[in-house]
Structure 1
């Protein structure tokens, strides 16, 4: 007789490699690597953004808002909100206009306000898409990776790498959060 536990069993829909999220042949992130530094950076950013979305697929609002382990306020929904906030912050780094206000108010509002309601989930996805598009459009005006922007003189290359790092780090968190929810493991 099996042991009763509140912990989800490890699960994956992969059939060729059971420890992977999806079979390699079905992975939408795979493809030929692009030529050139800017294209490579954009490809990595796109891949990590897609990975984060994949980690959130198929979950309801309550599951997306589920906290990891106390006292952490981290959740998948919180990560979506946090990355929307980060995209706005990066936009502010390169904009010559007055900085846009924080999306979620006070410090940690992105995680603290991640509640298990469908309206909060829909808003988080919309916020993330809008902020990504704004930052992407602003950076598209600066294709020279060595160009330094605004008074702080941040190089476009540094900003791109920082964005990739932020998404990559949080995709690692998303792996663990998702495994706690339903046992699906990352790749």
Structure 2
């Protein structure tokens, strides 16, 4: 018997999809948003939903499973990492002393991703809170060419960097989920 799960998808219309288009919360009716800022927000929202979808239906052990040893990466670790990253972005743009790390130094976000229900719930709460706080901090800056923060980054660069971070980690989540229970799809 093999420990490798069979590949599967919940989708029937397009079997390489995560879910069928009419069940996909990332699909919206109508045309794409108008304007650069609205487009950036839409892409970020889509990647955030994708990460949550990749984690849905898994128990704490599955979320904490490190599917590609010796890597410390897991789906739960990704959730914790992205909460930490959202906080870091705010630290770059807001004046004053930076907020402390959520999970300690080094790889605490991944190393501390243990198969405990309380840690899972806490990680998702941390992510939602940190996303909302960073969104609020950036909502005040609608001029994408404006420079801000300690390094004088453009607002556009901050949006694109966030999208890139989520997109990259959603790719990791694809592979981690497939190794965990065989479910495939974008």
TM tier, smaller: over 0.9
2:170 paired with 1:171: yes
* Cα shift readout 1:113-137 (whole Å, capped 9, x = no counterpart): 0000000000100100110010000
What residue is the counterpart of 1:56 in the other structure?
55
Distance 1:118 1:179 in 2: 21
For structure 1, the residue ranges without an aligned partner over 5 or more in a row are none
Contact 2:93–2:150 at 8 Å: present in 1 too?
no
What residue is the counterpart of 1:68 in the other structure?
67
What residue is the counterpart of 1:25 in the other structure?
22
Distance 1:15 1:127 in 2: 34
* Cα shift readout 1:109-160 (whole Å, capped 9, x = no counterpart): 0000000000000010010011001000000011111110123101000000
Distance 1:22 1:125 in 2: 22
What residue is the counterpart of 1:181 in the other structure?
180
For structure 2, the residue ranges without an aligned partner over 5 or more in a row are none
* 1:1-187 correspondence to structure 2 within 5 Å: 4-31=1-28, 32-187=31-186
RMSD: 0.8
Aligned residues: 184
TM-score by length of 1: 0.96
Contact 2:92–2:150 at 8 Å: present in 1 too?
no
Distance 1:27 1:103 in 2: 31
Q: How many Å apart are 1:25 and its aligned residue?
A: 2.1
Contact 2:87–2:99 at 8 Å: present in 1 too?
yes
Distance 1:50 1:92 in 2: 24
Q: What is the DSSP-based 3-state SS (H/G/I as helix, E as strand, rest coil) of the residue aligned with 1:15?
A: coil
| Deviation >4 Å, runs of 4+ | none
